[in-house]
Amino acid sequence: MKKSLAEFIGTFWLVLGGCGSAVLAAGVADVGIGWLGVSFAFGLTVLTMAFAIGHISGCHLNPAVTIGLCVAGRHPAKEVAPYVIAQVLGGLAGGAVLYIIASGQEGFSAAGNFAANGFGGSSPGGYSMMAVLVVEIVMTLMFLVIILGATDERAPAGLAPIAIGLGLTLIHLISIPVSNTSVNPARSTGVAFFSGGEAVTQLWLFWVAPIIGAVIGAIIYKVIGAKDAE
């Protein structure tokens, strides 16, 4: 229960902090933080929560990460479902609080303006479904390699949150123009519910692609990170 609650709180913070920066602060005239600021906001949510709850739940905040860590042998299979449920609920709670805040501005509409992920006309740069599928698989794959490598017992102790947070920042710098960056089904679900329309009908891709990428990343690290026989 403590682990699930920690995952709920952490994912709530990720959606509120990351998506909140995009919805509330990115487009403000003259002083908006832009995509660079949003990229750092997502990285900072993970970095801060890794220090805050990493010792409690491992700070996954992401169904794809939980599944990938299970495939890599770093997380028990019996805890996958409780973690995923807590993460999705935390993402929805973060989306709900963000919606309440954003709705306080006159004329606000969540449709097309709520940091939702998408392809085609819903992609920030108009990228195709195939391009979005590839970027989400590859970015999540690399995220898992970073997570598994940074938390390996042979890695420098205590620095994993920094590497993982900066890794997520870099991922956003690369892929915001393509898919608005998901690499996290809970993050996508948390805002799609309030955005409606194509954000909901295209949500399947932002579950399928990150999970595929996470599984591939876990398998890759099991190969390259395997300890040599003594």
Q: Give dist(CA 30, CA 37) in Å, integer.
A: 14
Question: Could you list the residue range(s) of the whole structural domain that residue 203 is in?
Answer: 2-224
Taking the C-alpha atoms of residue 181 and residue 118, their distance in angstroms, rounded to an integer, is 9
> For residues 230 and 228, what is the distance between their CA atoms, to the nearest angstrom?
6
Number of H helices, E strands in the chain: 10, 0
Q: What is the number of structural domains in the chain?
A: 1
Per-residue pLDDT tens digits of the chain, which is 230 residues long: 899 999 999 999 999 999 999 999 998 877 889 999 999 999 999 999 999 999 999 999 999 999 999 999 999 999 999 999 999 999 999 999 999 999 999 888 988 889 999 999 999 999 999 999 999 999 999 999 999 999 999 998 889 999 999 999 999 999 999 999 999 999 999 999 999 999 999 999 999 999 999 999 999 999 998 876 55
Q: What CATH number does residue 150 fall under? A: 1.20.1080.10
Residue 105 counted as domain residue: yes
- How far is residue 180's CA from residue 197's CA, in Å, rounded to a whole number? 16
Longest dimension (CA), the chain: 66
Tokens of 60: 């996954």
Q: Is residue 230 part of a domain?
A: no
Domain membership flag for residue 229: no
CA distance 223 to 230: 17
* Residue 155 in tokens: 């890695």
46: in domain:
yes
Residues 116-129 have pLDDT tens digits of: 999 999 999 999 99
In a domain, 63, yes or no: yes
Domain contains 157: yes
pTM above 0.85, yes or no: yes
- Residue 96 in any domain: the answer is yes
Residue partners of 156: CB distance under 8 A and separation at least 6: none
